[in-house]
Amino acid sequence: MDRKLLVQALVKVSAGILLLCVLIFVPAGTFRYPGGWLLMGVLFIPMVIAGFVMMARAPELLKKRLNMKEREKEQKEVVLWSGVMFIAAFFAAGLSFRLHILMLPWAVSVGAAVVFLIAYTLYAEVLRENEYLSRTVEVQEGQKVIDTGLYGVVRHPMYMATVFIFLMMPLILGSVIGFVIMLFYIPLIVKRIRNEEKVLEEGLAGYREYEKKVRYHLVPFIW
């Protein structure tokens, strides 16, 4: 086992847990926020399990997933505004809980958690199908076009899964305001996809042919 990679992964997960706790529970003014703990559980428990699986079976893929340094200017802008969106959505959710403003029933939180886990499963399947999945937009050495499984349905199944994952987060927290803020993820991911496809068209052999074969970018029969 690569100890350096293990430490890097554990540091990033720990930092993510700490950051999310601050963003949710500080504005909530309490740790007695059931939606907050539900989100922490469905987000980080599968993440840790998936991390150990990748560590054992696909350490190179894990390294790619831990790399978050974008090269493309447009992608840097997407990452920046995504960060602003997440901070605003989680802060709004915690504050909504504290002030009892536009909060959804617990049943909605539970239902959203179920959808979240289904989307997480789709995300894991995409990771299994595509060994070239990096968190940054780039064409890697030896990269090939993947057109099987979910990639035969839409060009960007990982982003399809993340749309559901991210939109479910504020619903798990029970926050209408947080959900409205998180809707801004849709135009951001569209911007990311358009730039990513441009990069792949220019640098990845066979990608233009793949685009002709698979028409839909993100959602079947819609876009």
Better-predicted residue by pLDDT, 174 or 6: 174
At 90-102, the pLDDT tens digits run 999 999 999 999 9
Domain that holds residue 138: 3-213
Within a domain: residue 48? Answer: yes
Within a domain: residue 121? Answer: yes
At 119-139, the pLDDT tens digits run 999 888 887 777 666 555 555
CATH code, domain carrying 155: 1.20.120.1630
- Mean of the pLDDT values across residues 57-76? 67
Within a domain: residue 29? Answer: yes
Question: Would you place residue 106 in the very low, low, confident or very high pLDDT band (cuts 50, 70, 90)?
Answer: very high
- Mean of the pLDDT values across residues 152-176? 94
Better-predicted residue by pLDDT, 59 or 44: 44
For residue 102, the model assigns a pLDDT of 94
- Percent of residues, the chain, with pLDDT higher than 70: 87
Within a domain: residue 222? Answer: no
Q: Count up the domains in the chain and report the number.
A: 1
Global pTM? 0.86
Within a domain: residue 219? Answer: no
Better-predicted residue by pLDDT, 173 or 8: 173
d(CA 83, CA 76): 11
The answer to whether residue 216 scores a pLDDT higher than 70 is yes
Within a domain: residue 159? Answer: yes
Within a domain: residue 73? Answer: yes
- Mean of the pLDDT values across residues 185-214? 88
Within a domain: residue 135? Answer: yes
Whether the CB-CB separation of 200 and 115 falls below 8 Å is answered with: no
- Mean of the pLDDT values across residues 185-208? 88
- Mean of the pLDDT values across residues 166-187? 96
